[in-house]
Structure 1
Amino acid sequence: MEDGTILSWKSTSKTSFSEEATSLKGHKGSLLSLIVGAKKLFSGSIDHTIRVCDLESLDCKHVLNGHTGDVTSVMCWDQYLLCGSLDKMINVWGATKSGNIEEVYKHDVDDAVVAFCGMHDEEEKPILLCSYKDNGVCLYDLPSQVFF
């Protein structure tokens, strides 16, 4: 929502979804991106943060501060979280053995990131498609070009 609230409905045995939504609060501005992966909900916002919520408890476990612009895209890839922003950065986060999430790589790009899409090419190599504010699209080999 524009106020930074995420609404979540749990499925029940009687109906597809419960009638009452659970509100997840914490972002200080509009949500721009959401993704579910690794039993977590990742959300990016105009408040420049990524929040990481446990899917079972819906508790916020981490707030990631690595951008200076709106976080427009979040994507899970293997054990990594990729985040794109209007600050012209792609940040890559990884979980540590202690359960924390740390930034493992930053990649400068030529324009503000609008959206990500991950896929495999015809040779089954993983690639990242990244669209930019100038309407351009760039393809990156994963993990070689983005990770280290």
Structure 2
Amino acid sequence: MQEGEVASLTSIDPWVVVGVRGAVKALHTGTGKELRLRGPAASMLVTALLVEDDEHLFAGTEDGVIYMWRMNRSRQSFDEVAAFRGHEKALASLAQGKGTLYSGSADGSIRAWDLESRRCVCTLAAHAAAATALLCWEQFLLSSSDDGTVKVWRAKPDRDDLDLEVHYVHDEGEHVVAIDGTYDPDKKPVQMVSRGDGVVRVYDLQSLQKRGQIHCNGEARAVSLRSPGVVFTGDASGEVRVVKWMPRAEAGV
């Protein structure tokens, strides 16, 4: 990338999408075609990218703005749809679920945006430091932070689905870099929590009881669970670690 630092990365088949300063660039893996998506200000780093439904692409920037594009498969392009404004600090994380976009900020706040009306419908004073990662899981929203906590949110009883309250707080005692969810070989839901000390811990969802851990050579900012039965981690030392799930009777992970 001639623009310098690649701050975020995602994919929407057949495109690889990268966030750089002042741009979102899409690279076609088959033809080599390169697109530069309009939106982010020239001086702003694109700090977060999200694709969940193979149709919409979201990008969050240093100035707190979120941009949304829709993939146009017939033209092999991305059409600009909307910009969401309201955060006062840089975007740190994004997640999507049930027609809602969730955005986590460097100031620890989380906003919920209705994708149909494109309005902010809920603002949570969620964490004391940056909301490093968000995860939508069934009826829950999970958030992690540099303050060392992982919080599980759910809708308040007899209230709107977007009126969230804290269901459980888990203290890691170390700043949390990333979280993600998957299923173990027994089809049980589990959560991966990557900590600043280079340990990726594995927990049962929703109890957050510890199942195991992966030791990395430094902070593991990249954790991929997209290949069934395998966990990939990328850490501060430059090492990529590949970990295979085993049946519970033999080992946790």
TM-score, with length taken from structure 2:
0.54
Structure 2: any 5+ residue segments left out of the alignment?
1-60, 210-253
Aligned pair partner of 1:114 in 177, 185, 198? 177
> Is 1:98 matched up with 2:159?
yes
- Output the aligned Cα RMSD: 1.8
> Stretches of 4+ moved more than 6 A in 1?
none
C-alpha change, 1:13 and 1:140, in structure 2 (3 Å) is closer
Percent identity reads 39
Aligned pair partner of 2:192 in 129, 132, 144? 129
Rounded to whole Å, the distance in 2 between the matches of 1:69 and 1:45 is 9
Rounded to whole Å, the distance in 2 between the matches of 1:84 and 1:56 is 27
| Structure 1 residue 144 displacement after superposition | 1.9
Rounded to whole Å, the distance in 2 between the matches of 1:110 and 1:139 is 15
| Structure 1 residue 133 displacement after superposition | 1.3
For CA contacts below 8 A with separation 6 or more, give which structure has more relative contact order.
1
Rounded to whole Å, the distance in 2 between the matches of 1:126 and 1:12 is 34
Rounded to whole Å, the distance in 2 between the matches of 1:13 and 1:85 is 36
| Structure 1 residue 38 displacement after superposition | 1.4
TM-score, with length taken from structure 1:
0.90
Q: Which amino acid aligns with 2:111?
A: R
Rounded to whole Å, the distance in 2 between the matches of 1:26 and 1:12 is 27
Q: Which amino acid aligns with 1:98?
A: R
Rounded to whole Å, the distance in 2 between the matches of 1:128 and 1:31 is 23
Rounded to whole Å, the distance in 2 between the matches of 1:101 and 1:107 is 17
Give the number of the structure whose alpha-carbon radius of gyration is greater: 2
